[in-house]
Structure 1
């Protein structure tokens, strides 16, 4: 019954409209600028930079500014890794993506960013690693747009400093507070899950292997409720695919893609901390619609690949969680 409650429970609103609005502005205005410049091909880069706005929603300025600056730099670095991986053989590219997952897991624990885990960093790296390789000039443009959008998101997140209630806004920016302890067991779980998921996804014929890696790290990114998080990932993805069908089938023009991206990003942020499964109803079509600007694919193949990758990744993650629980239980029994 506890698991059932975790699956269906929707948390309180708790002012979710404020971070949702920041996310909408952070992704919307850069996309409008790119659309005006006729660069629909760079909308994906803007979306990854705008993920910076998702972080540090519970912090106030200047702590939010400092943490988002670190996240923005990390997302930009992940895009660079993905661009480089696209020029390598597939297996080397997968190793680089696993490296991003492990590095972001460690960094997330040290910086204590929220939401935790390496999800968006693997997403940013994987999307470009799985796309056709960019030339040097085009890659520089992608990196510049990602970094610029991330910087804009940091500015939007810092805008609250102009309000009189932010008495700490006048204080100089300080370094992000670091945590000394890194939970090695979580890092090892992420490494194991990715190391198993990558070849399994290839064996199953998954085209977007990084989708499977994302699904594998999602349940491991929370300390409690991991089974519920995995089931939310599968159920939310399935419902999100239903939403994505008409959006993809409409082959929306650039302005419509921007509008859809803003609406879905705001919707995801409204629910992500209240019920992860509901948030996936927005996140899934967002990823597919924006991703279609980078490398289009037949709708049926795309939907099937997303579902297969998600199920495979979550299944591996839950096996890792179960294995870890069994080992801890056995160890406690032996030490009694």
Structure 2
């Protein structure tokens, strides 16, 4: 049976803790660790400089720029520098476009609609450019961070400069340390993203934009303080290559977010110093890239504190209350994302799910 209701029933019935906790073999632990180290070095340089500058309020955007170093870890020998540079442009553009929209007077609802549109656009760009992990979520995170108050055009320029400047720093760090990256060989190939047809990329981008928009607007209507986090949760689920993978990601993101939010809540209760927060960010960034390729849920346990600590640096007045907000927004977002993934699934998606379930039953 390939009806949507059957697909949802199959997904709910096939949920297994073993699938959520399973560890996969990473294509290249060396490249994953190197990407984490490159981003960590960029953070270690950028955040202290931001605090020492006349613009310490831009520290959050400086940290966002460092994340450009995470892309292209499996790219061909001469292709990574270009991918990281394109990622830097996307990261900076997300901050710039959203900041500009806020300055021009966009309402909260219009900002969320723009975020949904950017989610689809960034997914399409990432898939077309074969950026590899962590994909469009990083760019969506940057655009969401730029929502809120913008007092003047100078703020737009400052945010773009901080994000773009550190993103270029991350690019230079990647170029300088390219010699340490494992290159593909016949004996040890690296994963290559398939060249997806244009129609497939457009369909996936449309699904993601719709899912992100619904998740963000629903949580906004419910009074959530950070509806962009719900949009990210929906995108993380919908971008799964198959429905059963989307379901696993939904559950892993839920569990990982709850555990990670609890951990960061405990940390923020201690009122950590800026130095301690920076040290934690550096360690979490590196550890995330080491483990997330093996288990997405465990990666979320580390990603959640990292995202919340970045938010804390940018707005320390929010305090530990941002942790439960992250949990609420994520739970709503991934739930909506899973429903949208099934509702907008194609017959091929549902047929593959039925065949996958039949294969598992025979096994």
TM-score (norm 1): 0.87
Q: Is contact 1:216-1:314 (8 Å) kept?
A: yes
Match of 2:284 in 1: 264
1:248 and 2:264 correspond: no
Counterparts in 2 of 1:1-336, with a 5 A limit?
Answer: 3-12=16-25, 14-15=29-30, 16-37=32-53, 39-87=55-103, 88-115=106-133, 117-129=135-147, 131-161=148-178, 181-183=198-200, 184-224=202-242, 225-299=245-319, 301-325=321-345, 327-328=347-348
> Does the CA-based 8 Å contact 2:230-2:332 persist in structure 1?
yes
For residue 113 of structure 1, give the secondary structure of its aligned residue in structure 2.
Answer: coil
Alignment gaps of 5+ in structure 1: 167-176
Q: Are the counterparts in 2 of residues 247 and 289 from structure 1 also a CA contact under 8 Å?
A: no
Rounded to whole Å, the distance in 1 between the matches of 2:285 and 2:123 is 23
Which string of whole-angstrom CA distances, capped at 9 and with x for unpartnered residues, describes residues 222-277 of structure 1?
31311111111110000001110132223333222221211111111111211111
Contact 1:244 1:288 in 2 (8 A): yes
Inter-partner Cα distance in structure 1 for 2:348 and 2:204: 13
TM-superposed CA distance for 1:118, in Å, is 2.3
Structure 1 stretch 59-68 or stretch 30-39: which is displaced more? Answer: 30-39
Of 185-194 and 298-307, more deviation after overlay is shown by 298-307
Q: How far apart are residue 37 of structure 1 and its match? A: 2.9
* Shift in CA distance, 292/165, structure 1 to aligned 2, threshold 3 Å: closer
C-alpha distance in 2 between matches for 1:283 and 1:116: 11
Do the aligned residues in 2 keep the contact of 1:19 with 1:269 (CA within 8 Å)? yes
Whole-Å Cα distance in 2 between the matches of residues 308 and 223 of structure 1? Answer: 25
How large is the RMSD of aligned CA atoms in angstroms?
A: 2.7
Q: Does the 8 Å CA contact 1:53/1:68 hold for their aligned counterparts?
A: yes
In structure 1, what is the Cα distance between the partners aligned to 2:213 and 2:180? 47
C-alpha displacement of 1:106: 1.2
| Structure 2: runs of 5 or more not aligned | 1-13, 184-193, 353-363
CA 1:306–1:329 in 2, change beyond 3 Å: closer, same or farther? closer
TM superposition score normalised by structure 2: 0.81
Q: Which residue of structure 1 aligns with residue 9 of structure 2?
A: none
The residue that corresponds to 1:172 in the other structure is none
How far off is 1:144 after superposition?
A: 1.0
* Aligned position for 2:355: none
| Equivalent residues, number | 322
Deviates further, 233-242 or 156-165: 156-165
Report the Cα distance in structure 2 between the residues aligned to 1:128 and 1:92, rounded to whole angstroms: 14
For the residues of structure 1 that align with 2:70 and 2:337, how far apart are their CA atoms? Answer: 24
Question: Counterpart of 1:86 in 2: which secondary structure?
Answer: helix
Q: CA deviation at 1:326?
A: 7.3
Q: Which residue of 1 aligns with 2:5?
A: none
Say whether the 8 Å CA contact 1:109–1:182 is kept in structure 2. Answer: no
Q: What's the CA shift for 1:71? A: 0.7
